[in-house]
Structure 1
Amino acid sequence: MKEKIEAFTLKHKELWKFIKFTFTGASTSVLELAVFMFLQYVTFKSLNEVPVTDSPFLAFLGIEYKGYLYSYAISATIGYAAAYVMNRKLTFQADNNPVFSTVVYVIMVAGTILFNTWFGAYLGTIIKNNGWDNAVVEMIVKVIVMTVPTLWTYPLNRFVIHRKREIKTV
């Protein structure tokens, strides 16, 4: 069985990297989801009905409640930090400049967290305003919000952030 796995990984290197990326994403998503649920239902529970009144920008984006905003922003930050370490070391075994990788990753994640925070808090506002706010609906929405960024995070991680240096032979 071990030989078959090794043969598969050698024959399908790119597919194997995507499988490992998906596994890493699933693992860190479980962490992110657990942190989100703890923040949403324990830490910031009292803020789930507190309006964001001090920011016309957030109001313009459709984000109305502080609890959703804080829960999405913090849980996404923790999930992406764990994903960076796991993807660099396990998935891609990157050996390129770690400072470059970290800077580009932080830029990508900042944009992704802004997107996740907006999208999640926006959907959270819709959920709250329609009376659908319960743990099951909020977990499903959180999983959807966490999945969408794979469209840009895999290509950026694979081809820009976590590259392996090419060995040049003469």
Structure 2
Amino acid sequence: MSPSLLPGANTFHTCLYHLQANFLACGSSDSEVTVWDVTNLSAPIIPGKKLSLGADVTCVEFNRQVEHIFASTCAGHCVVWDLRKQSSIMTISDTVSRMKTSNVIWNPHVATQLLLSSDNDLTPWAQMWDLRYATSPIKTLEGHQRGVLKTAWCVHDPNLLITTAKDSK
């Protein structure tokens, strides 16, 4: 998408459209996340105070159960946002394993669970987190030799996850 189509926009690194809510969320450089209601593109929604992480937003993902909640990844952290409160709810990072989160996807059946993954070759994992207990992951999935590039969670079977990584596995 051309930045000139959206008022005040700069270069986007990731965008995601939420079909049911008519929201377009975009992540750009300098930890900036902007959301637009596609029925009114002239009034961008700033979801909250810009974080001082100083890096590109690498992923945005809407919660599949709660339409005003979404997550973004930046500088190895995952930030969960609430559009109604126009603020971040929490920032998730694994300080024990030092996994640098680059991708996030929500559980299609459990509104409080998400899967974080790392494209860093030193921590090629995916971690399942529950926001009710966000001090540590509830499960760590290992198996790749190099960084995880993308994840998908099956909407028909919540026990089925797919990951792709730099190791071509």
TM-score (norm 1): 0.21
Q: Which protein has greater RCO, CA pairs closer than 8 Å, 6+ apart?
A: 1
Specify which structure has the higher proportion of helix.
1
Specify which structure has the higher proportion of strand.
2
TM-score (norm 2): 0.21
